[in-house]
Structure 1
Amino acid sequence: MYRQGNILYGYFSKPIQDDIHHFTIRELIDDWNREVNFIHNSETTWKYNENLQRHILGFFPSDILIESIGTKEITEYLAYLKREKQFSNNTINKHRTHLLTLFEYATRNDDRYGIVVNPVRKIRPLRHEPYAYKIYSPEEAKLMMRILHRTGKIELEAAVALALYCGCRREEVCGLRWENVNFERKEITITEIRTIAGREVVHHMYTKNNTIRVVGIPDALYDILLEVKEYQEMQRQRYDKAKPYEYVLSEDNGQPWHPSNVTMRWKGFLEHHKLRAIRFHDLRHTNLSLLMTQMSAIDVAKIGGHAKVSTTTNIYGHSFTDTVERGKKVINELL
């Protein structure tokens, strides 16, 4: 006999015997996690995939059979994310891509699952929404740093300065060790990250794009880092620690900062001093946006650790306005 289904969407057509096991969406997800996700993806990636799966299983009953999920049902799920969860188009497209991956796995193993056509393929991705972020003007950034310095919160000042002056990501700030700070050459080498995967802190000996990059230390940051180093040495003696603190961002007992603490302390500082709220990551955007007004996209991509120059131009293309005008002026004068 044939499984019964919606012929309009045609997501299966293979003859199946009654004694064959019918798989649920939860079983498909468990199989894919065990055979693909946990083997081929980094811990950060498979934790992110698990987050997508929680939403999927929160919408579809966990015991629903995969042959009962067609294009119509998946379209309803994506509409639910937009309507009820108010997710952006870009986030909804990630859910679509994950469902596409799950059902692609099922079709490649059609002898096991009985699915021969991927129902997600008929659903077009939503229109990409330009990435929205806020940045500080140079005047705002200078005022914010003056206020932060007066608070005496030296390690928060270091975290903010690393993002604002060097364009470091939060996970790079949390993973920066003193051994990678060269005071003599005034350079920091970014080689590793400490980030959050699910509810756990994970440490990777590589950066987001598997690159090692060297960033110069501006004078203001140099002074801050020296002050942090001196403060930590005082705390080391106070807590009778045998070894110097390992991380630039360390608690008084020598343990590295939890990545969430960076975000919470930054947010608390802005709220307390009634400064315009931007995300901690937007300090990196401020840095790279300012660099784009004076440097080439290729150089900014290297400093920012972007694998592709197109990433830099797509995100910070608005910063080209002055560059375009200067280029036009040069050509007019020379030709």
Structure 2
Amino acid sequence: MGHREITGSLAERNGRYTAILNLYDEDGKRRQKSIALGIPVKGNKRKAQARLEELKREYSTSSCSPAKSRQESPLFADFLHDWLKTTAPTIERTTYQSYQGLIDARLDSFFRERRLRLQDLEAKHIRELHQSIFKDGCNANTVIHYHAVVRKALQYAVKNGLVTENVADRVDRPKKGKYLAEFNSKEELAALFEATKDDSISVVIQLAAYYGLRRSEVLGIRWSAIDFEQGTLPINHKVTEGKADGKHQLYTEDKLKTKSIFRTLPLIPAVRVLLEEQRARQEEYRKLFKKSYCADYLDYVCTDEMGKLFRPNYITDHFKLLLEQHGLRHIRFHDLRHSCASLLLSQGIPMKQIQEWLGHSTFATTADIYSHLDFNSKLESADAISAAFAKEQRDAGMNLSL
């Protein structure tokens, strides 16, 4: 069957024009393609019509016929990997690893099994992706993470002229679920400190709980940064873990995600004692193991008996094991950060100060996570409304007496 002429029309969606193209394959089978023009409807019909004609010409050229276009367009699964390699230098290492994990875990197999090519991707395919994730028992937040990767990849494709529309923008994301953080009470933290006091990661646990530090932050604390005379503890370095050439590797760097993460905290008296004890232990181990002692991390506080820096994943796994061994309630290591925040709130510390203590980039982040724990502010509101009604009642009583 000969090549059929491409036809098209304009449609209005949310106050803007969308081009609807009728494309035909070698067998004459029609398929429609919607392309959001981004042109406001009011007063722009001629402009939109001109853009529609341009699109028809683009799709009508022999080099861009639908059949050939589909053959040349890469499989979307392959495109995801290529996009990630291209964008790697522009994103954080941890972000890259997160994207890589999501692609490997589900996106590659989902799109590869369907043999979907980049130019054939439609909104319905992304909706099917969402449904498959929900079907596997995952929550809305998981769907949002996968959706974000697909959308970012398609943004790159649009920017580089590989497709004309980001179809992910035509798919509604599910509403983000409210995250209720787990945390230990001060009694539970005291029990945890006592139970783990002789373990090699005791210093890691206590530093994380006292300061609400992220795992990467507590492992990044260095002796040279601590000012014992001024009593300050800077948070300006991090330790992360990733794969390079198939092998696990530690990364130590001063580059933190946002400026707010760089912060200097006061040296709490109990932490000063903790650090002095840790330094004495390190010196003892260094004398004991001599040449076998690792000299690569002498400036780091959180090292094991052989002087090696703890791996972040080891901290997570070993912390879980410690809780099981001592019969303590299960929480994640990151929940020590939430425990710190809950204790600060219980002591009446304002949310803004907690934001600065934890190093959140925005106040909204802190409020979103911990507002349900801020009972003190609710008590103030209760007192205020109670006082207001009491005043109304007193005034009403005085009017009646008159």
TM-score by length of 2: 0.74
* Preserved CA contact (<8 Å) 1:157 1:224: no
Deviations 1:206-227 (A, max 9, x none): 3332431112233332222211
Deviation at 1:253, TM superposition (A): 2.2
Mean alpha-carbon deviation: is it higher for 310-319 or for 180-189? 180-189
Deviations 1:174-226 (A, max 9, x none): 11111122333332111011112355432231333243111223333222221
SS at match of 1:203: strand
2:151 pairs with 1:100: yes
2:362 aligned partner, one-letter code: K
2:312 aligned partner, one-letter code: P
Deviations 1:104-127 (A, max 9, x none): 2222333xx3x2222211110101
* Preserved CA contact (<8 Å) 2:242 2:251: yes
2:121 pairs with 1:73: no
Match of 1:159 in 2: 204
Match of 1:208 in 2: 257
2:166 aligned partner, one-letter code: N
Mean alpha-carbon deviation: is it higher for 285-294 or for 208-217? 208-217
Q: CA separation in 2, counterparts of 1:286 and 1:311?
A: 16
Q: CA separation in 1, counterparts of 2:33 and 2:101?
A: 28
* Preserved CA contact (<8 Å) 1:9 1:119: no
2:220 pairs with 1:175: yes
Specify which of 28, 48, 56 is matched with residue 79 of structure 2.
28
Q: Percent identity?
A: 23
1:205 aligned partner, one-letter code: D
Match of 1:259 in 2: 312
TM-score by length of 1: 0.88
Mean alpha-carbon deviation: is it higher for 94-103 or for 211-220? 211-220
Specify which of 124, 142, 145 is matched with residue 193 of structure 2.
145
Instruction: Within 5 Å, give how 1:182-261 maps onto structure 2.
Output: 182-198=227-243, 199-210=248-259, 211-240=261-290, 245-261=298-314
Q: CA separation in 1, counterparts of 2:312 and 2:235?
A: 16
Q: CA separation in 1, counterparts of 2:77 and 2:110?
A: 12
Q: CA separation in 1, counterparts of 2:326 and 2:81?
A: 48
SS at match of 1:264: helix
Q: What is the number of equivalent residue pairs in this alignment?
A: 326
Larger radius of gyration: 2
Unaligned runs of 5+ in 1: none
2:150 pairs with 1:117: no
* Preserved CA contact (<8 Å) 2:345 2:376: no
Match of 2:333 in 1: 280
Mean alpha-carbon deviation: is it higher for 137-146 or for 5-14? 5-14
Deviation at 1:64, TM superposition (A): 3.2
SS at match of 1:256: coil
* Preserved CA contact (<8 Å) 1:164 1:284: yes
2:202 aligned partner, one-letter code: E
